[in-house]
């Protein structure tokens, strides 16, 4: 085994970058630690500006050939990548659980199958891509999607491989080459993806992986004039820095940012369903951008809702995410745990009441928490915590419900629980959100657009929207006359 290979949950993982079809060690390293027990997983290659430049150069060199590759061949390779993911699904699941602390059962049953589906979906969608020609005064308009060029994809730690491939798959399908920069708190499955892609026959340089700290290599990636697209999922402050870095080159950006999504429970709702959806917001230890962390409940049912919620939340099992019985695992990093605890302590000091939780657990675990008696303009209501912390407020009538729901700087998602279809339609139309779920949560179809409004993001991805972003969309207009005949 190479000195640059570590073993995580019995799986060998190369700790070096993947640039131009080769492993590159670089100089310095950073330590990757498991949130489950604080154990060191390994020393990971710490990228430099030179590594970032080399990765972009490799992507640029590989671009012409990959862009010229037929749709059918691109789709074949992406399906082969999906085959490789499915073949190594268990390895990917156990490594990612060790790396970011999310539930192993979720990785096995939902997350890693979705990784494979990301590749299959965009491979198939590519073969369907097109627009009917249309006529303008006898002239023919033909719309085409041209590959844009090298793309920098910067991905988060809460669902590392799934959210990476949500970007990698359409970028590659579109004929672009990619430099993937995974989050430093969860880099391991990106390295495994590089191996899988190479084994599937993806040409050298088409996918590159550079590990390290965004503060050290982010600007070198996003300011590079050879980069034609930047797609980022993460925090608003980091998005601002990326946008400023990309601005001199007018590099198009797709930004999927944070949220402070509401869950509106009306008096005519199925309360059992409402409680079930509310408790579901603790999924992944609350580290979900879409999570409906603000529970808004109509006054007449608030007391009963709270009683049922408290009862159901008390049954959640918090512990080792590798245990099938566990419902909530650890938070990703001591710094994140401190951030979560700080939010809660400041809220309690300001007069909030912890109906559920409100304190740390052992290690990097934070107790599922529900806070009441919170003001609409308070920090805990307005700012994203990104942990297992919910707030509960009451409202009287649709107008107040919508006013409270829309009264943050975010607009990623919203959930509405009601027994009245008319109310569902009225309220949904007034909510500022990229996605609204009615009597359900987290139902995602890759054909649908996904993104946020306000500070929750810029742009939409998914389905044809992904191709619109990752391509230069061209319209060719041809006159009906003017051809010379060659005999």
The catalytic residue positions are 256, 289
Distance CA 258, CA 382 (A): 12
Half-sphere exposure of 446 (CA within 13 A, CB side): 21
Q: What is the dihedral of CA 396, 400, 404, 410, to 10 degrees?
A: 140
Is residue 365 within 8 A of residue 350, CB to CB? The reply is: no
Strands (E) in 336-470, as ranges, are 353-356, 369-372, 389-395, 413-417, 435-438, 457-458
CB neighbours of 323 closer than 8 A, spacing ≥ 6? none
Partners of residue 389 on adjacent β-strands? 369
Strands (E) in 133-194, as ranges, are 134-136, 139-147, 150-154, 177-181
Whose CA is closest to 274, among 250, 243, 308, 299?
308
Token digits for 33?
Answer: 């630690």
Dihedral of alpha carbons 436, 439, 441, 447, sign: negative
Distance CA 253, CA 4 (A): 34
Distance CA 38, CA 112 (A): 24
Distance CA 407, CA 386 (A): 19
Dihedral of alpha carbons 394, 399, 401, 405, sign: negative
């Amino acid at each position: 085994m190479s000195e640059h290979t570590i073993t995580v949950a019995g799986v060998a993982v190369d700790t070096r970058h993947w640039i131009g079809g080769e492993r590159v060690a670089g100089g310095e390293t950073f330590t990757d630690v498991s949130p489950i027990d604080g154990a060191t997983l390994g020393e990971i290659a710490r990228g430099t500006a030179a590594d970032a430049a080399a990765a972009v150069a490799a992507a640029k060199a590989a671009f012409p050939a990959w862009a010229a590759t037929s749709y059918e061949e691109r789709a074949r390779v992406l399906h082969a990548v999906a085959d490789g993911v499915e073949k190594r699904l268990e390895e990917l699941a156990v490594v990612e659980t060790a790396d970011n602390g999310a539930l192993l059962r979720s990785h096995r049953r939902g997350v890693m199958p979705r990784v494979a589906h990301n590749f299959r979906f965009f491979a198939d969608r590519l073969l369907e891509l097109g627009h009917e020609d249309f006529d303008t005064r006898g002239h023919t308009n033909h719309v085409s999607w041209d590959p844009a060029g090298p793309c920098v994809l910067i991905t988060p730690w809460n669902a590392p491989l799934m959210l990476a491939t949500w970007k990698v798959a359409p970028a590659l399908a579109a004929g672009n080459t990619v430099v993937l920069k995974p989050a430093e708190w969860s880099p391991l499955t990106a390295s495994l993806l590089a191996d899988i892609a190479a084994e599937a026959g993806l040409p050298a340089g088409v996918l590159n992986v550079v590990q390290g700290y965004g503060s050290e290599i982010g600007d070198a990636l996003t300011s590079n004039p050879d980069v034609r697209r930047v797609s980022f999922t993460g925090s608003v402050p980091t998005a601002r820095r990326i946008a400023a870095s990309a601005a001199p080159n007018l590099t198009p950006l797709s930004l999927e940012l944070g949220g402070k999504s509401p869950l509106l429970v009306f008096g005519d709702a199925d309360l059992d369903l409402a409680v079930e959806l509310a408790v579901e917001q603790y999924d992944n230890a609350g580290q979900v951008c879409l999570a409906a962390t603000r529970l808004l409940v109509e006054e007449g049912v608030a007391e009963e809702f709270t009683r049922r919620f408290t009862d159901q939340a008390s049954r959640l099992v918090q512990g080792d995410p590798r245990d099938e019985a566990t419902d909530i695992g650890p938070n990703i990093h001591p710094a994140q745990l401190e951030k979560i605890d700080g939010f809660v302590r400041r809220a309690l000091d300001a007069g909030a009441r912890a109906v559920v939780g409100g304190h740390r657990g052992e290690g990097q675990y934070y107790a599922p928490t529900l806070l009441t008696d919170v003001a609409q303009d308070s920090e805990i209501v307005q700012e994203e915590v990104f942990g297992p912390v919910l707030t509960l407020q009451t409202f009287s009538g649709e107008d107040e419900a919508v006013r409270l729901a829309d009264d943050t700087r975010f607009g990623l998602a919203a959930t509405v629980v009601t027994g009245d279809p008319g109310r569902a339609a009225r309220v949904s139309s007034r909510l500022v959100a990229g996605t609204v779920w009615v009597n359900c949560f987290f139902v995602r179809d890759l054909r649908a657009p996904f993104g946020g409004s306000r500070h929750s993001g810029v742009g939409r991805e998914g389905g044809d929207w992904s191709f619109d972003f990752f391509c230069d969309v061209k319209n060719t207009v041809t006159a009906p006359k003017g051809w010379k005949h060659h005999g």
